[in-house]
């Protein structure tokens, strides 16, 4: 498809404000192939995944040029006229829990008449089970997009899965890898995510939030570095702390399916998107993310052959305690369907203060999705 040109992506400057940054470890994946390297990485990883659920990785064999190309493609997609983007949106898909393709901003009313400011475009992994028509600018670059998607899996996800297997003392390093095969049907996807800047007055009406506190539903999420500060994590004391964009890194968070598989040992991190600090408040925020999940057929019961989990007595999870033995496919559909329902209302009271009305919604009988703010 000739004539589709994608210019180089230029990142905006980082914030100069002194924010309350979270103290996160950085795993150097160049150690992975060195003697004793995996064991050293597992030692570093242990506290991060049990207590925090967030960390960075560096030296992950994906060049900055390749990363920037994905940012450029996301930019070009969001520059399309709305009517063009809406060709890749289906409201009925959302109701059914289908999330691939385009979701326009304004899907939810956050409170005080303010709608959400986030657009999402999801590209499923290239496993042969999720064939979809793509907009021209993406279709023209689909080979590069597939290569990038596969690299996210092979260069980052697979290595982390082997480290998790070592942490869990599993008999095979590849046990979790076998449950996350790229070419087996699954719900992994690449995402371009766009937050439009809002005025200070609008931000105040929704508590200076772009997105409320939540956990992700898969195994791990990869967030490629972009310099507009907005991501916050909730620490063990319940405080919200900013995640600093670090050069040459991917920010990783651990998610619900991994928590289920490990009987709660590995933390599913609570995070949210705050309005950027004052010196970046005027800038739209573009993200490139990769969401990794177990293959669709995998049952999300706690792993039975982990000596560590057995010693700690972590042999049940929130699903099994309700008599549920969900596959990944069942869990994703239930969770995605729940996410389309209104979760929270917000208002400013007579005293001028901003208030959330918490609405934890039921995913399955007896199981609710927490709301954190």
> Are the CB atoms for 354 and 346 separated by under 8 Å?
yes
Sign of CA pseudo-dihedral 181, 183, 184, 187: positive
How far, in Å, CA of 132 to CA of 100, rounded? 9
Q: Render 227-264 in DSSP notation, one character per residue.
A: SS--EEEE-TTS-EEEPPP-TTEEEEEE-HHHHHHTTT
Where exactly are the structural domains of the chain? 26-369
In Å, how far are 126, 185, 188, 212, 252 from 140, measured between CA atoms?
16, 25, 22, 35, 29
Q: Give helix 142-151 / helix 64-78 axis angle, nearest 10°.
A: 130
How far, in Å, CA of 255 to CA of 120, rounded? 19
CATH architecture of structural domain 26-369: Sandwich (2.60)
For residue 338, give the 3-state DSSP assignment: helix
pLDDT tens digits, the chain, 373 residues: what are they?
444 668 999 999 999 999 999 999 999 999 999 999 999 999 999 999 999 999 999 999 999 999 999 999 999 999 999 999 999 998 766 666 678 999 999 877 777 788 899 999 999 999 999 888 999 999 999 999 999 999 999 999 999 999 999 999 999 999 999 999 999 999 999 999 999 999 999 999 999 999 989 999 999 999 999 999 999 999 988 999 999 999 999 999 999 999 999 999 999 999 999 999 999 999 999 999 999 999 999 999 999 999 999 999 999 999 999 999 999 999 998 887 766 554 444 555 555 554 555 555 566 666 666 656 6
> Are the CB atoms for 258 and 267 separated by under 8 Å?
no
pTM value is 0.92
As beta bridge partners, residue 353 has: none
Q: Give helix 37-47 / helix 158-167 axis angle, nearest 10°.
A: 80
Q: Across 8-76, where does the E strand assignment appear?
A: 26-28, 54-58
How far, in Å, CA of 315 to CA of 302, rounded? 6
Q: Render 102-134 in DSSP notation, one character per residue.
A: EE-TTSSEEETTEEP-EEEEEEE-SSSS-----
For 179-209, what is each residue's pLDDT tens digit? 999 999 999 999 999 999 999 999 999 999 9
């Amino acid at each position: 498809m000739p004539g589709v040109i994608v210019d180089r992506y230029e990142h905006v400057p980082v914030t100069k404000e002194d924010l309350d940054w979270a103290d996160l470890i950085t795993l150097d994946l160049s150690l992975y192939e060195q003697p004793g390297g995996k064991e050293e990485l597992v030692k570093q990883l242990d506290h991060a995944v049990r207590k925090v659920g967030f960390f960075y990785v560096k030296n992950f064999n994906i060049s900055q040029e390749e990363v920037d190309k994905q940012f450029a493609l996301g930019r070009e997609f969001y520059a399309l006229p709305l009517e063009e983007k809406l060709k890749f949106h289906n409201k009925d898909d959302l109701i059914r829990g289908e999330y691939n393709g385009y979701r326009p901003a304004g899907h939810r009313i956050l409170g005080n008449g303010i709608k959400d400011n986030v657009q999402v475009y999801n590209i499923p992994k290239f496993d042969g089970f999720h064939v979809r028509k793509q907009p021209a600018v993406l279709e023209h670059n689909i080979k590069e997009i597939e290569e990038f998607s596969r690299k996210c899996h092979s260069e980052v996800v697979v290595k982390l899965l082997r480290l998790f297997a070592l942490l869990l003392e599993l008999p095979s390093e590849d046990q979790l890898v076998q449950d996350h095969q790229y070419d087996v049907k699954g719900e992994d996807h690449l995402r371009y995510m766009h937050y439009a800047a809002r005025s200070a007055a609008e931000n105040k009406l929704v508590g200076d939030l772009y997105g409320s506190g939540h956990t992700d539903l898969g195994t791990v999420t990869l967030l490629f570095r972009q310099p507009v500060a907005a991501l916050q994590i909730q620490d063990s004391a319940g405080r919200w702390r900013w995640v600093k964009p670090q050069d040459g890194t991917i920010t990783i968070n651990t998610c619900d399916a991994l928590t289920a598989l490990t009987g709660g040992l590995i933390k599913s991190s609570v995070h949210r998107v705050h309005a950027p600090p004052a010196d970046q408040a005027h800038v739209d925020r573009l993200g490139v993310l990769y969401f990794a999940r177990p293959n669709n057929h995998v049952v999300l019961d706690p792993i039975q052959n982990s000596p560590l989990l057995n010693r700690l007595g972590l042999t049940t999870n929130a699903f099994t305690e309700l008599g549920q033995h969900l596959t990944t496919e069942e869990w994703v559909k239930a969770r995605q369907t729940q996410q389309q329902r209104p979760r929270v209302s917000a208002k400013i009271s007579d005293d001028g203060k901003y208030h959330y009305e918490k609405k934890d919604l039921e995913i399955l009988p007896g199981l609710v999705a927490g709301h954190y703010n």
